[in-house]
């Protein structure tokens, strides 16, 4: 396995040199801040510096006994499970359809990739407009049943809006990966299954889906870990964590606590906990899900 990669580079230092710039960026903008966060989580840190007090595990004890933290954590998990599942399921349906040579599947393949170019914050602004209770697509609903759609005051509505925007923004990448997976399947398998009398639905569930499990797994892993942090831009532009904290996901709570509230220690502690959670989550996915998937064909 390793020999072809080695053969690509004549000089053994060249790959190191090529990787260095990126590695440096990751160290400066990821590892250093993360280290700083872990360090601060053991201190009571004043915003402008000076007089930080070592408090041991006291910050963790406080955060872990704070119902607000657990509620934000619960919302994060709900968002992660529902948002990520839909963000894989919807593209999966679209990819299967696009793969089936349906009419318009060719243009759809292109169009569906476009949202990838839209930044999360822009998506938030657009969706806030689309779901506006007075001018958005659901506004007729409000004319028939006044007050039924009110994401500005009703927490559940706001959460639904957030998930819709998240799923939409997840379509392009997952669609590309899943469609590529579907297209790499040999046509002979379809033909063989068809010869044996399997209908279209049967072939999807018994042939295509099992064979693209590696791709589904990849998208799920990426979605689950990404949904924890990438929701920030959406929350910030659409709901600011409201109403009544109903969309205050952990990643946004950390931002508000640390940057608006100057609680650097609390924010650092929550960052550390979130970090450990994401690492454990990914580990668990590989341990339990990954093992069941057959990568060989």
Contact footprint for another protein (CB under 8 A)? 44-51, 53, 62, 66, 68, 132, 134-135, 150, 152-155, 241-245, 248, 256-257, 259-263, 265-266
Nearer to another protein, 45 or 226 (CB): 45
Give me the phi and psi of 44, to 5 degrees please.
-95, 110
- The residue among 221, 226, 217 whose CA lies nearest residue 181 is 217
Nearer to another protein, 186 or 261 (CB): 261
Closest contact distance (angstroms) between CB of 138 and another protein is: 14
Closest contact distance (angstroms) between CB of 33 and another protein is: 12
- Is residue 121 within 8 Å of 240, Cβ to Cβ? no
Q: How far is CA 32 from CA 37, 235, 294, in A?
A: 9, 26, 38
Nearer to another protein, 219 or 265 (CB): 265
Nearer to another protein, 71 or 204 (CB): 71
Q: Give the up-direction half-sphere exposure of residue 74: CA atoms within 13 A in the CB hemisphere.
A: 9
Q: Tell me how far apart the alpha carbons of residues 285 and 271 are, in angstroms, rounded to a whole number.
A: 21
Collapsing DSSP to helix, strand or coil, 44 comes out as strand
> Residue 120's Cα: distance from chain center in Å?
11
Nearer to another protein, 15 or 33 (CB): 33
Nearer to another protein, 67 or 199 (CB): 67
Collapsing DSSP to helix, strand or coil, 54 comes out as strand
Nearer to another protein, 121 or 185 (CB): 121
Nearer to another protein, 62 or 109 (CB): 62
Closest contact distance (angstroms) between CB of 249 and another protein is: 14
258: DSSP letter: I
Closest contact distance (angstroms) between CB of 259 and another protein is: 5
Closest contact distance (angstroms) between CB of 63 and another protein is: 11
Element (H, E) at 81: none
Q: What is the CA radius of gyration of the chain?
A: 23
Closest contact distance (angstroms) between CB of 185 and another protein is: 49
Closest contact distance (angstroms) between CB of 242 and another protein is: 6
Provide the Cα torsion 14, 16, 21, 27; round to 10°. Answer: 180
Q: How far is CA 74 from CA 67, 152, 278, 279, in A?
A: 10, 21, 14, 17
Closest contact distance (angstroms) between CB of 240 and another protein is: 9
């Amino acid at each position: 396995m390793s020999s072809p990669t080695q053969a690509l580079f004549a000089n053994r230092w060249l790959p190191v040199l090529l990787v260095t710039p990126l590695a440096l960026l990751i160290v400066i903008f990821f590892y250093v801040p993360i280290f700083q966060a872990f360090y601060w989580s053991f201190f009571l840190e004043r915003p402008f510096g000076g007089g930080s007090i070592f408090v041991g595990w006291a910050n963790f004890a406080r955060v872990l006994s704070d119902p607000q933290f657990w509620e934000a954590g619960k919302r994060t998990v709900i968002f992660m499970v529902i948002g990520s599942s839909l963000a894989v399921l919807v593209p999966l349906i679209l990819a299967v359809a696009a793969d089936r040579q349906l009419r318009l599947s060719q243009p759809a393949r292109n169009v569906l990739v476009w949202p990838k170019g839209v930044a999360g914050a822009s998506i938030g602004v657009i969706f806030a407009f689309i779901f506006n209770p007075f001018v958005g697509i659901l506004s007729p609903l409000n004319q028939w049943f006044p007050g039924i759609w009110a994401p500005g005051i009703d927490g559940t509505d706001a959460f639904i809006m957030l998930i819709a925007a998240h799923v939409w923004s997840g379509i392009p990448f997952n669609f590309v990966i899943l469609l590529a997976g579907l297209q790499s399947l040999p046509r002979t398998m379809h033909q063989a299954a068809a010869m044996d009398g399997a209908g279209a639905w049967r072939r999807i569930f018994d042939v295509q889906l099992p064979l693209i499990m590696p791709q589904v797994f990849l998208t799920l892993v990426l979605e689950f870990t990404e949904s924890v942090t990438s929701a920030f831009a959406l929350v910030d532009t659409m709901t600011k964590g409201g109403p009544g904290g109903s969309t205050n996901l952990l990643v946004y709570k950390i931002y508000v606590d640390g940057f608006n509230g100057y609680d650097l220690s609390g924010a650092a502690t929550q960052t550390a906990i979130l970090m450990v959670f994401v690492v454990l989550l990914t580990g668990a996915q590989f341990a339990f899900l990954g093992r069941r998937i057959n990568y060989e064909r």
